[in-house]
Amino acid sequence: MPLVSEYTKDTIKESILNKLLRYYGCTIEEATPKQVYAAVAATVRDQIMLKWRFEKEARRTEKAKRLYYLSIEFLTGRWLHNNLLNLCSTAEYEQAFAELGLTLRGVLHEEPEPALGNGGLGRLAACFLDSLATLNLPAMGCTIRYEYGLFRQRIVDGQQVEVPDEWLTYGNAWEIPTQRDAVVIRFGGQMMENWMGDKNYISLQNTEDIIAVPYDLPIVGYGSDVVDRLRMWSAVLPKNFNLEKFSAGDYNGATQESDSLAAQISKVLYPEDNTYNGKKLRLMQEYFLVSATLQYAIKDFKRIYGANMELLPQKVAFHINDTHPAMVIPELMRILVDEEHLPWELSERLTRECVAYTNHTIMAEALEKWPEDMMRETLPRIYSIMQELNRRLCQKLFDRFPGEWDRIGHMAILAYDQAHMANMCIACSSAVNGVSQLHGDILKRSTFADYYKVMPEKFTAITNGITPRRWLMLANPTLSSLLDETIGQGWRHDAMELEKLLPFADDAAFVEKFAKVKYENKARFSRWINRHQGIVLDPDTMFDVQVKRLHEYKRQLLNALHILVLYNRIDSDPSYTMAPRTFIFGAKAAPGYRRAKEIIHFINVLAAKIAAHPRANQFIKIAFLQNYNVSTAEMLMPASEVSEQLSTASKEASGTGNMKFMMNGAVTIGTLDGANVEIADLVGEKNCYIFGMRSKEVEALYASGTYRALDIYESNIELRHALDMLFDGRLTPDNPKMFESLYRALVFSDNGGMADPYLVLKDFGSYQAAQTRLGADYLDAKAWTRKEIVNVAKSGVFSSDRTIREYNEKIWHLQPLVRKK
Ligand code: 26Q
């Protein structure tokens, strides 16, 4: 096997041919595309393995601290292309492919998309791993190896249909089962009190046990020495687990089907995004991830450092990505108290010093609150530890707020028969982090205001980021080359160097080249979407894009209603004209979220209506992309010109799609919400389109209870006209009342709820005005391209490398591993 540096065109070729011969007994001419992909992936994996040992060895010899980043989702996207890029080997592989009669694109396409996440939270975790490895920081991402990832979406008759995501059918070329690290996870059972001298500890009897088997995935840093790993835990019932078969490499034969709930733990990813769902199996998934990770982490710690647990905070950090892994806190307490026999107070201090928490949402319906009964029954010891944590916490709170029971109840871990996971995270960790500056402020002044009074030192705000490797270099090779030739290659290692582009915004020759790149990317996307979904796009029209999960607060409806108003103008005025636009949507709705599905249906009905109108279809096209995912985003971002970021101010904690668009030159139209605030600050008002209420105004309006959507409906004629079409049959003659409930939710306060809770009508006029300005500005192509260039130039701060450096300085304090030459 060649050394790392010896992976040249010729050795790569030889390795691919060899693997085809040894794995499948075939030549390259006989091999299927899947077999070719497997042989290529195995070759790349060999190359990675040569670096793999380094992290482990260096961590031991340097006794370096390690981060465990726990997240119930890691939305990594495909691995092959990213690995080639980060190994800096793409060129060699492309040459080898050319001589073998293969194309890079063709090989990449064979890789199944791992969809182990819903949206922003999971994608952020994936960007973080890329940056951690790139910065040579020792870290392990920990998650669940879901057999079924997020459902695949089909649009049938304008409506979402969910199809199971069987991403593991052909195996996963990148994962390495690490059977020696398998651990037992225990559910249910009865607590037994034990004494060891004068020390009291608890053990469990008659538990239902499940085995957690780790599958490790290498995470290669960009041009770095460190290969970190993503550990994906898979659940197996012990009586069905045949260790002999497993050790012999027969991973499927080693397990059998069972119908117990525990056996289902790693079957499927829950498809809710920004919504809490109180299912017991979900609680079990969360504990499974937490307990497996902690048991392993403590075992690894003791192997390296021995039994002195007081060293733990110097050597280990646990980061909990939203509250889903919050049981890190009671589980670490359990291990320290019941297994290591440490005193409670010391255990509490060590736990606090090891653990930090990031909050990703202020939406009330997303905050996790588990019924106490369910916790007690499913995890009796964890529950009893939470009771004791709660008792001590409430005592302290009572000293601070004597007699203020409401306030204390609001801050408690257990109150009103529920376990409040966010409260536990704040009370028992060392850092509480918001994901944008605005979000950090809202946490302090509103969501967690009481906690901010008691422990202000814990609160930080570190703005999210995205990895420029996947989102610029890999996704946009043509822009990347143009950047290289214009400002040199420094930006590839330090995204802040993108600012060197700024002077070129006024260089006519550069502006022309930049515009050409954008046009080519539009054409490339058009060909791609035509090939995959049969959608026909015209790259000579403006590409105006809104892609993200479907949620009412993200306000895809605002966009759609604006398009409907444009349609009505064209329909009623034969001389109406506008710059032709393609409105591109992509969004999955949680299967149980009826309103969200209705909005998808509405957008598709509107698309058909416009397509059938002889004049409207000259100016407007709506393309609803099926199954929006990471791979689609990689193609689409470089082709986008307008980035729609329309959330009701205060509701979108950060957003990260907004950053991907910006880095690829799209101009933002958005509210001052989440990281949009920071984007607007950076590019200035000439280079983005800000509209709508500000977050404080929204909060004040909600608090005042004076909002009347009906008043706007009555006073804005064009808007009323559009809304009426939702139920008067002009949109859907066969079923006139198809969207009546959507209409009613916007205008009336039925069922006690408030009308138009996300302020779509309230912000409509301001949005329309911003769109009109944008439309006019677009006509000046050079001035528009200048805006795009400024956006790219200013996007460097949104590199997740900056985010990770900040986390590391403020919270984790990891030392980069250095390879001694
Ligand atoms: C919880 C309990 C049960 C089932 C599902 C869930 C669940 C799943 C996913 C709750 C929340 C999520 C996802 C939240 C999320 O993606 N939030 C986004 O995080 C991004 C990264 O910080 C931000 O940029 C976005 O603003 C935020 O919406």
| HEC profile of 475-494 | CCHHHHHHHHHHHCCHHHCC
DSSP state of 254: T
Query: Closest Cα partner for 388 from 329, 442, 445?
Result: 329
- Pocket lining: 658 vs ligand 1, CB cutoff 6 Å: no
Return the pLDDT at 753.
Answer: 86
* Side-by-side strand order, sheet with 414-415: 369-371, 418-420, 414-415
Summarize the confidence of residues 323-347 as an average pLDDT.
98
Q: What is the Cα–Cα distance from 795 to 802, expressed in whole angstroms? A: 11
Q: Which amino acid is at 55?
A: E
Instruction: Look at residue 59 in the predicted model and tell me its pLDDT.
Output: 84
Regarding the beta carbon of 434 and ligand 1, being less than 6 Å apart is answered: no
Question: Distance from the CA of 73 to the center of ligand 1, in angstroms?
Answer: 9
Whose CA is closest to atom 9 on ligand 1? 273
* Strand residues in 82-151 grouped as ranges (E): 139-144
CB contact at 8 A, 562 and 603? no
Verify whether ligand 1 is closer than 6 Å to residue 124 (CB atom). yes
Between the CA of 120 and the centroid of ligand 1 the distance, in Å, is 6
The predicted-structure confidence for 662-692, as pLDDT tens digits, reads as follows 999 999 999 999 999 999 999 999 999 999 9
- 124 CA distance to ligand 1 centroid (A)? 10
Q: Is any ligand 1 atom within 6 A of the Cβ of residue 274? A: yes
Q: Which residues contact 89 (CB under 8 A, 6 or more apart)?
A: 7, 44, 47
How far apart are the C-alpha atoms of 811 and 356, rounded to whole Å? 7
Of residues 239, 133, 186, the one with CA closest to residue 467: 133
Q: Is 360 a catalytic residue?
A: yes
Residue 256 scores a pLDDT above 80: no
Residues 143 and 121: beta-carbon distance below 8 Å: no
**pLDDT class for 548, splitting at 50, 70, 90?**
very high
CB 676 near ligand 1, within 6 Å: no
pLDDT tens column, 631-657: 999 999 999 999 999 999 999 999 999
CA–centroid distance, 470 to ligand 1, in Å, is: 21
Cα–Cα distance measured from residue 545 to residue 623, given in angstroms and rounded to the nearest whole number: 10
Question: What dihedral do alpha carbons 438, 439, 442, 448 form, nearest 10°?
Answer: -150
Q: What does the buried/exposed string (b/e) look like for 405-442 if buried means 16 or more CB atoms within 10 Å of the residue's CB?
A: eeebebbbbbbeebbbbbbbbbbbbbbbbbbbbbbbbb
- Per the annotation, the verdict on 554 as an active-site residue is yes
549, 551, 555, 601: the catalytic one is 549
Q: What is the pLDDT of residues 502-544, one digit of tens each?
A: 999 999 999 999 999 999 999 999 999 999 999 999 999 999 9
Paired tokens of 518? 């954008």
Cβ(477)–Cβ(517) under 8 Å? no
Show the tokens assigned to 641: 């010109």
* Predicted confidence (pLDDT) at residue 3 exceeds the cutoff of 70: no
Indicate which residue of 351, 447, 656, 785 is catalytic.
656
Contact by Cβ (8 Å): 284, 267: no
Q: What is the pLDDT of residue 189?
A: 97
CA of 798 to the centre of ligand 1 (A): 19
CA distances from residue 306 to 67, 298, 310, 341 in whole angstroms, order as listed: 18, 10, 11, 15
User: Would you give the distance in Å from CA 724 to the centre of its chain?
Assistant: 37
CB atoms near residue 682 (< 10 Å):
18
Catalytic residue among 551, 554, 581, 762: 554
**For position 4, what pLDDT does the model report?**
59
Q: Catalytic annotation on 518?
A: no
> What does the pLDDT read at residue 304?
95
pTM assigned to the model: 0.97
pLDDT band (50, 70, 90) for residue 57: confident
Active site includes 154? Answer: no
Phi first, then psi, for residue 190 (nearest 5°) are -115, 150
Number of the ligand 1 atom closest to the C-alpha atom of 366: 10
Asked whether 270 lines ligand 1 (CB < 6 A), one says yes
Q: Which H or E run contains 712?
A: helix 709-715
**How far, in Å, CA of 657 to CA of 699, rounded?**
25
The answer to whether 207 is a known catalytic residue is no
C-beta separation of 150 from 171 below 8 A: no
What number of residues does the chain have?
A: 821
User: Could you give the CA distance from residue 493 to residue 224 in angstroms, rounded to a whole number?
Assistant: 10
Q: Which two tokens stand for residue 707?
A: 């909002």
The yes-or-no verdict on residue 420 having pLDDT over 60 is yes
CA 326 / ligand 1 centre spacing (Å) = 14
268 lines ligand 1 (CB under 6 A): no
Instruction: Tell me whether residue 13 is one of the annotated catalytic residues.
Output: no
What residue has token string 């989702």? 73
- Residue 283 above 90 pLDDT? yes
